Structure 1
């Protein structure tokens, strides 16, 4: 089917009297990597949760592969999630499970799945993110933060999804490790031909992994363009954000 794989149309979301999303319009095509930037409290995570189906918008619609999934539940929702991968900001690994069990979590919990087959597939996927079989039986607490992020990346791609969400993929990592994670994200997304939607405030990461960058400000997308243009966008809000200036139309949250 032609057209965008994911489309948000006029999405609004409030919590009590606080309106977080004020009509978000966004779409991403197959094979395209879109990064959404914005300050803390701009609504990036809420937007992601609505797109993923963890929240339901108050207004607006969300389409996945041409199908309206705004209020989908049950089998319709599971059908979508089976085609989606997610790398969480914290990694969100299960402490009580080994590395391979974390990577193969979705496979292990599929009816009729064999643990031996799931383990083999997990080890193959770990190789794709530059981790050897020697880490497969370790627990998350026994590996470094960068390795944990690679394990999370492996978990997000093991089912070869059509769409992958990345939530602050380089948060908490040193610059060298962060750059290595960025390289892996680019490699994995291109290898799968998947669409990717990432949220971050790390401009080095955004420029490396994105085909296009969009900025979310006060619950709306205020600019979108090629990643190469973001440092010279001509938009006062974008310019202030990407250059890290205190002076400008965005008021510091202090």
Structure 2
């Protein structure tokens, strides 16, 4: 297997007395799709923010392409982020910008590409996620939730990143639209040859887009294996979560 493009090594993150991450070890190689499952409050989003550099671990290390980026700021951090795409849970589109301006945001504001060239690339990228040029001049409020997700996906892949993070990519979508988004995620990640790290509690989505699944529980990775093995993991916590049972070692959040 290739060397990991992303590696978290014994990452700890605490907020006051709340130790959210308690020594997370995780890695993903180029071309690999890893899905991290876990309930609300298990630390998935905090783990992702530490991996992306939006938070700094209290201890432990984060490596990107073999380099320790745990404490990196400024240009080194920007160089990493230039190779990373992100699809946010809410889509996080800018309401005041048109669809194509949202997709081309990095090209215009970071890479300083001419607007005409950026628009051309944005429209080409929209086609990759099954959106025609007729939506390019619309605003996010003028398109459906499923289309907004596609626009967000286009924005995450326009710079052809080496690593893409997906934060609950199917939240708020009906099952048919969610499955279409999963298909697009699979297609685009494979076309790019990128590594993908997704966090979700949507098991149909996890089964479909993952090569491997890992479960985060109480701030630690308690199981990792092939997606095909998640149904018979031999781990009682994973088994309860995967089958959505109220009874078991995991207490329902009330």
How high is the TM-score relative to the length of structure 1?
A: 0.99
Partner of 1:241: 241
**DSSP-derived class of the 2:147 partner:** helix
Task: Give, in angstroms, the shift of residue 232 of structure 1.
Answer: 1.2
Partner of 1:175: 175
Distance 1:198 1:252 in 2: 23
**DSSP-derived class of the 2:20 partner:** strand
Partner of 2:21: 21
Structure 2 residues without counterparts, runs of 5 or longer: none
Task: Give, in angstroms, the shift of residue 113 of structure 1.
Answer: 1.6
Task: Give, in angstroms, the shift of residue 231 of structure 1.
Answer: 1.1
Which has the higher mean CA deviation after the structures are superposed, 213-222 or 106-115? 106-115
**DSSP-derived class of the 1:118 partner:** helix
Task: Give, in angstroms, the shift of residue 159 of structure 1.
Answer: 0.1
1:213-254 CA-partner distances (Å, limit 9, x unpaired)? 000000000000000011111100000000000110001111
Q: Tell me which stretches of 4 or more aligned residues in structure 1 moved more than 2 Å.
A: none
Partner of 1:12: 12
Q: How many residues align?
A: 254
1:109 aligns with 2:120: no
Partner of 2:134: 134
Distance 2:111 2:180 in 1: 35
1:78-117 to 2 correspondence within 5 Å? 78-110=78-110, 112-117=112-117
Distance 1:231 1:155 in 2: 33
Distance 2:78 2:112 in 1: 17
Partner of 1:144: 144
Distance 2:186 2:253 in 1: 32
1:30 aligns with 2:9: no
1:192 aligns with 2:209: no
Structure 1 residues without counterparts, runs of 5 or longer: none
Task: Give, in angstroms, the shift of residue 63 of structure 1.
Answer: 0.1
Task: Give, in angstroms, the shift of residue 3 of structure 1.
Answer: 1.1
**DSSP-derived class of the 1:198 partner:** strand
Identify if the C-alpha distance between structure 1 residues 218 and 112 changes in structure 2 by more than 3 Å, giving closer, same or farther.
closer
The two structures, once aligned, show a CA RMSD in angstroms of 0.9
Partner of 1:253: 253
Distance 2:102 2:113 in 1: 15
Partner of 1:42: 42
Identify if the C-alpha distance between structure 1 residues 171 and 111 changes in structure 2 by more than 3 Å, giving closer, same or farther.
closer
